[in-house]
Amino acid sequence: MNSVSEQEAALPAKGGLSPRKRQQIGRGAQYAVLVVVVVALVAIADWEQIRQNFLNGDVAAKGLPDLFTVALKNTVIYTVCGYLLGFVLGLPLALMRLSQVAPYRWIATGYIEIFRGLPALVIFLMIINLPIAFPGFEVPGEVYGQAALGLGLVSAAYMAETFRAGLQAVPKGQMEAARSLGMPHLRAMVSIIIPQAVRIVIPPLTNQLVLLFKDSSLVLFLGLTAGQVELAKFGNDQASTYASPTPIFVAGVTYLLITIPLGYVARRLEARQGAGR
C-alpha cells in the first residue's frame, strides 16, 4: 500500500495531484481532526460543573493570603535551598569527574549515575529513614534541612553534568594561556576556567531551577506542618477542606506564574549566548 503510493508520487502525471495540492489536503485534514476533537471535548465537558468546581472564586479567595505568604514562600525556600546545595555539591563533582585521579572520576561518575537514575521520591523516602542507619542522627534544620538535602542531592547530579559540559566548552587555549603566565592548575581553574564555564552554563542552570521548582512538591512526603506546606500540598489540603478542586487549580496556576517566565528567561539567555559567539 505504502510502496504503491510512493510509486505514484514518483509519477506525478498519473494521480493528477501536484505535491503542492497534496500538502494543502494534508494540512486541511489536520485542521479537521483538531476541530473534531475540540467540538467533542466542548460537548462532553460539563461547563457549569467546571466553573463551580475548578473556578470557584469564593473557595479561591479563602486560600489568600496564605497561598502566597506560606505556600509559595515555602516552595521558594525549599527550591532555593536545594538549588544552592546542588550547586555547592555539583561543581566539585564536575571537577572530580574531570580529574586526573581515577578514583575521583569513579566516585563522581557513580554518584551522578545513581542520583540521576533514582526517582526523587525514593531519595526523599530514604532521607526519612536515615535515622535508622545512623541512630541519633538528624538532618539539621528539620524539614527545611531534609528538603534541601533531598532536592540538593538530586540536583547536584544534574548540575555536575551541566558543569562538566561547561568546563569542557572552555577552549583549551585558556588553560594554556593561564599556565604560561605561571598560574598553577588550581589557580587557573578558579580565576580563568570556572568563571567562563559558569557563564556558559547559566541558561541550562536556569532550566534546572525550573525543574527543581516543580520537584519541590515532593517534600510533602516528609510530613509537613501547617507552617511548612508548599504549593502542591497547600492546594491538596484546601481542596479537601472545602471539598472543591479549585485550590489545586489555583496552585497549578501559581506554579506556572513562576515556571513560564523562568523558562522564558532561560531561552532568552540561551539565544543571547548563541548570538554572542
Give contact residues for other proteins (rule: CB under 8 A): 171, 173-174, 176-184, 187, 191-192, 195-196, 199, 276
At closest approach, how far in Å is the CB of 197 from other proteins?
Answer: 10
Nearest CB to other proteins, comparing residues 7 and 180: 180
At closest approach, how far in Å is the CB of 189 from other proteins?
Answer: 12
Nearest CB to other proteins, comparing residues 11 and 275: 275
At closest approach, how far in Å is the CB of 84 from other proteins?
Answer: 23
**What is the 3-state secondary structure of the chain?**
CHHHHHHHHHCHHHHCCCHHHHHHHHHHHHHHHHHHHHHHHHHHCCHHHHHHHHCCHHHHHHCCCHHHHHHHHHHHHHHHHHHHHHHHHHHHHHHHHCCCCHHHHHHHHHHHHHHHHCCHHHHHHHHHCHHHHCCCCCCCCHHHHHHHHHHHHHHHHHHHHHHHHHHHHCCHHHHHHHHHCCCCHHHHHHHHHHHHHHHHHHHHHHHHHHHHHHHHHHHHHHCCCHHHCCHHHHHHHHHHHHCCCHHHHHHHHHHHHHHHHHHHHHHHHHHHHHHHC
Nearest CB to other proteins, comparing residues 32 and 181: 181
Nearest CB to other proteins, comparing residues 197 and 232: 197
